[in-house]
Amino acid sequence: MEPPQARPGRQADPLADAAIRLFALAGTDALGHGVARHLGLTLSRHEERDFEDGEHKTRALDPVCGADVYLLHSLHGDAAGSANDRLCRLLFFIGACKDAGAARVTAIAPYLCYGRKDRRTKPNDPVTTRYVATLFEAVGTDRLVTMDVHDEAAFENAFRRRTVALTAVPLLVTSIRSLTADAGRLCVVSPDLGGGKRAERLRGALEEATGRPVGTAFAEKHRSGGQVSGDLFVGDVAGATCIVIDDMVSTGGTLARAARAARGGGARQVVACVTHGLFSAGAETVLAEPAIDRILMTDTVPPVRLPDGPARRKLEVVSAAPLFAEAIRRLHRDLPLSDLFVF
């Protein structure tokens, strides 16, 4: 997506005639600067202060009274802070902006924490996605924008405010096309049955972009007590370039299993595509798996946890900034978002 063009004779700010504020909290500033650049804006100024006992505060330095405010913060954990810490900082900043008179506050959480705990799988289990939704509502959040949630139906049902769940599919398709221009037949692989809808979205978008048929395959996966099992693989992948698609990668085990299964079925090469690269401990070893040729991911989570080595050298990062910028532009102007989605 191209950034909006500046009006002749005016500052390169397509939203300069309206009260809009875009903030990016520490740890998400690189993505924030990219979003601001695509909007023709500069990030609004704020202060983040940490106290000796671990408490903190965040306040806007640019006025927000009467403004349409967008707060960008990805809610993953890293060496600088846990997911809980990032969530708390964002919530408190939302509340502070509402208290300061902001007309509307939209939380932009490129990666939304606790999305995997959206239902009970054992007696007395928490439904943490719903509790997180309640916290956002409690501080006065008007809208929440995120990308590739774990389960869209559970996410939408958890919130009582407007939510926008973008998908990285439009961003990934361009990179997939460049990587597979001479790859022959393509096949999209879901690493588990639950990801079938996500795989179908990518398959349809690739067919439309390439003008040729794209196949589908599924790998079986069962998880219980932290152990993953399942050996069934369904789909004709012989001689094909397989695109394994998932919403996130943590240890990398799911991607590696699917890649090995595709290779076992005769796949020519395997490209792993994920939106959120969490890369927990050991991922650098698992993702060095020879069955995986390339890894595509967006920058919703910076890949700081993946050290240099074979896995890192397979990685290509695709910027999510253009898509978030376009969503913000349309939300600010109350324009439809429908063509940003892939159904």
86-129 tens-digit pLDDT: 999 999 999 999 999 999 999 999 999 998 887 888 889 989 99
pLDDT at 66 over 70: yes
Phi-psi region of 176 (alpha: psi -120 to 50; beta: other; left: phi over 0): alpha
Per the document, the length of the chain is 343
Round the CA-based radius of gyration of the chain to a whole number and report it: 21
Number of neighbouring beta carbons within 10 Å of residue 200 = 16
**Of 212 and 5, more confident:** 212
pLDDT band per the 50, 70, 90 thresholds, residue 4: very low
The token pair at 20 is 């809009």
Instruction: Tell me what pLDDT residue 225 has.
Output: 53
Q: Is the pLDDT of residue 10 over 50?
A: no
- Decide if 314 is catalytic: no
> What is the rounded distance in angstroms from the CA atom of residue 187 to the CA atom of residue 243?
6
339 vs 111: which has the higher pLDDT: 111
CB 242 within 8 A of CB 184: no
Per-residue pLDDT band at 266 (split at 50, 70, 90): very high
Confidence of residue 79 (pLDDT cuts 50, 70, 90): confident
pLDDT of residue 206: 94
Structure tokens at 236: 């004709």
Catalytic residue among 57, 122, 197, 221: 221
Mean pLDDT for the stretch of residues 278-307 = 95
Contacts with 178 (C-beta within 8 Å, 6 or more apart), sequence order: none
pLDDT beyond 80 at 19:
yes
Which pLDDT does position 192 carry in this prediction? 86
pTM: 0.90
- 147-204 pLDDT, tens digit each: 999 888 888 889 999 999 999 999 999 999 888 877 789 999 999 888 889 999 999 9
